[in-house]
């Protein structure tokens, strides 16, 4: 089980153009012509879904555009490309996107996917939480990928993440066409994430350096 959790977290971390217009999909929306993915940024949920959908197809270039300015300043396009190429996903399907939890310009979005890596016979469930920030100029929601961007609001972000953990832990995923093994994977990941985030919150409140 520990080995699976390690693999799951690695996939979460690593999942870190020719574009056409999209009508009626909100401001800043576009279609990635190579994959046909409709990319939307009007809500935190839209951006999170679009970002991971692009990365799972290896489309790091348009995904890179969805990150905040600070994230793009600290993560080069070459770094993004290298990270994406470390994970080869044969297929994936979105199981659940949880409603965003907001505070000011920041939000968190929980999501669950089932993926199958290349050269692996079985699908596995992956749970993730995206941290997003609203661009004050465009009003689009963008992905935060560097800790520096949230260091001044770290406690608030942890509160948002813990609320997302709690909402995910209440979901039974009935009717989602999941195997018992995948349901167990989801439950174990949510439990492990919640324990990690509670430990980080405790460390923060005690004034110690959080383990990020």
- Domains of the chain from N-terminus onward: 2-205 (3.10.450.50)
- pLDDT value at residue 25: 46
Cα separation, 148 vs 195, whole angstroms: 23
- pLDDT value at residue 207: 86
- pLDDT value at residue 209: 56
Q: What is the pLDDT of residues 135-177, one digit of tens each?
A: 999 999 999 999 999 999 999 999 999 999 999 999 999 889 9
State the sign of the Cα–Cα–Cα–Cα dihedral 165, 141, 39, 68: negative
Q: What is the pLDDT of residues 164-210, one digit of tens each?
A: 999 999 999 988 999 999 999 999 999 999 999 999 999 999 987 55
Cα separation, 92 vs 77, whole angstroms: 24
What's the average model confidence in pLDDT over 81-104? 90
Q: What are phi and psi of 124, to 5 degrees?
A: -140, 150
What's the average model confidence in pLDDT over 10-35? 56
CB-side neighbour CA atoms (13 Å) of 133: 17
Number of neighbours of residue 34 by Cβ within 10 angstroms: 15
Q: In 3-state terms, what secondary structure has residue 70?
A: helix
Does residue 23 carry a pLDDT above 60?
no
């Amino acid at each position: 089980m520990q080995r699976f959790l390690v693999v799951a977290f690695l996939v979460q971390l690593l999942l870190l153009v020719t574009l056409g217009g999209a009508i009626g999909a909100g401001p800043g929306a576009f279609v990635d012509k190579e994959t046909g993915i409709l990319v939307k940024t009007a809500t935190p949920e839209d951006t999170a879904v679009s970002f991971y959908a692009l990365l799972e197809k290896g489309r790091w270039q348009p995904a890179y555009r969805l990150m905040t300015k600070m994230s793009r300043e600290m993560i080069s396009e070459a770094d993004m490309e290298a990270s994406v190429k470390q994970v080869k996903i044969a297929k994936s399907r979105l199981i659940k996107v949880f409603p965003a939890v907001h505070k000011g310009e920041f939000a968190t979005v929980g999501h669950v996917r089932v993926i199958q890596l290349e050269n692996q016979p079985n699908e596995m469930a992956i749970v993730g939480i995206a941290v997003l920030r609203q661009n004050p100029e465009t009003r689009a929601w963008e992905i935060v990928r560097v800790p520096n961007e949230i260091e001044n609001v770290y406690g608030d972000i942890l509160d948002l993440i813990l609320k997302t953990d709690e909402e995910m832990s209440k979901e039974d995923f009935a009717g989602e066409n999941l195997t018992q093994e995948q349901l167990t994977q989801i439950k174990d990941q949510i439990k492990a994430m919640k324990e990690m985030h509670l430990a980080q919150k405790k460390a923060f409140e005690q004034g110690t350096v959080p383990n990020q």
